[in-house]
Structure 1
């Protein structure tokens, strides 16, 4: 495993942990994890490796905010 891949994996884990805590009670950990992984995939080759941590956090957080807002706006079924 290269240093870049190991560093990227560590950043994914750190972002996932931080966002799981931030969205606790709003979105399940599985949704947070999947969103972070999807954002990582979308950023692959689009940014310099040094920016991955910050850009990953920003993109995943934006997507999770959108999901959280949609969840709150969904009508309650009785």
Structure 2
């Protein structure tokens, strides 16, 4: 699924998504998108940063709903 990052600077074709802690920043959680990096495995890209883990989880749920509705592009909030 194609995803536009929260900062609007990247449009990425992601294979999977996850939530992780954002270390060293004011925002506590991040939604990560993984892309295939050829023979090197996969590469993780921060798609959005959120104040709480619950906010990141809500955004991940919206991503899932978009996938269920066959959306081609999802824009992070």
Normalising TM by the smaller chain, what interval?
0.3 to 0.5
What TM-score, normalized to structure 1? 0.36
Larger fraction in strand: 2
Q: TM-score, normalised by structure 2?
A: 0.36
CA radius of gyration, larger in: 1
Flag the structure with higher helix content. Answer: 1
